[in-house]
């Protein structure tokens, strides 16, 4: 589903955010992307979401080479990718319902279909009773659930999350990750960038570790040979 082939991202000043990344995420996998601040986690997610372009290498998403697509095609690609931010990025003057429905409106969906899909998604994340509230009246965990609902309302096969629990307490953190785990059980491919090693250890998921823009480790409970293969590629 997501494939990186010798991908590098170099910013002005010869800053290597990512250096020769080769990576494969299969359909339906749940991946923790780990590493210290500045390791390149956010840059990798931005490349998948086409917010940045690779300096070198190729990236395939759903079989489409996004390293070569036209700028006009990017909005259509993004309809297949939901994204969740650490700082929520909710529209403060809109209700919970309106925040989630907005993601449908920009794709041209209106009327009964918009209401049906918004209600369904809010029910999925446990916020249907809060749909008329403004974001600032919600707890941090509830605001993050709205962000997840907004990312999911278009039924994307891929969900990216950039430090989605960084501002939440441990109990709510587990609540959010459990919600994502349930989404993954339904078939959604999920990549979560996090520096929370305790969280990673708690769940038996694929783990990709970045240090200074390079992949130093890849572990997967169902692909035990992966770690040896990746290490060998960097010898």
Span 61-96, pLDDT tens digits = 988 999 888 999 999 899 899 999 888 999 999 999
**pLDDT for the residue numbered 221:** 66
- CATH 3.40.50.300 in the chain: give the residue spans: 2-80+158-233
Cβ(44)–Cβ(16) under 8 Å?
A: no
Instruction: Convert the pLDDT of each residue in 14-38 to its tens digit.
Output: 999 999 999 999 999 999 999 998 9
DSSP SS3 for 131: coil
What global pTM score does this model have?
0.89
Tokens 């010898």: give the residue: 235
Q: What is the rounded average pLDDT of the residues 103-127? A: 96
Helix 140-152 to helix 170-185 angle, to the nearest 10 degrees? Answer: 20
Query: Could you tell me which CATH number the domain at 2-80+158-233 has?
Result: 3.40.50.300
Q: Per residue in 142-197, pLDDT tens?
A: 999 999 999 999 999 999 999 999 889 999 999 999 999 999 999 999 999 999 99
């Amino acid at each position: 589903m997501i494939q990186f082939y010798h991908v590098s991202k170099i910013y002005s000043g010869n800053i290597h955010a990512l250096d020769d990344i080769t990576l494969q995420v299969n359909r339906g996998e749940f991946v923790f992307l780990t590493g210290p601040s500045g390791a390149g986690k956010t840059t990798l997610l931005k490349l998948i979401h086409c917010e940045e372009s690779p300096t070198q290498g190729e990236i395939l998403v759903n079989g489409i080479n996004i390293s070569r697509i036209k700028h006009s095609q990017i909005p259509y690609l993004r309809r297949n990718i939901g994204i969740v931010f650490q700082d929520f990025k909710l529209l403060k003057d809109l209700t919970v319902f309106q925040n989630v429905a907005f993601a449908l409106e920009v794709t041209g969906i209106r009327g009964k279909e918009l209401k049906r899909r918004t209600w369904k998604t809010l029910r999925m994340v446990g916020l249907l009773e809060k749909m008329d509230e403004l974001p600032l009246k919600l707890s941090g965990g509830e605001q993050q659930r709205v962000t997840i609902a907004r990312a999911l309302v278009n039924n994307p096969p891929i969900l990216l999350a950039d430090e989605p629990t960084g501002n939440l307490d441990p109990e709510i953190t587990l609540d959010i990750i459990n919600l994502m785990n349930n989404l993954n059980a339904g078939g959604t491919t999920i990549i979560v960038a996090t520096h929370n090693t305790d969280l990673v250890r708690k769940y038996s998921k694929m783990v990709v570790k970045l240090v200074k823009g390079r992949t130093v480790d890849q572990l997967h409970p169902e692909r035990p040979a992966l770690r040896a293969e990746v290490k060998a590629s960097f010898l």
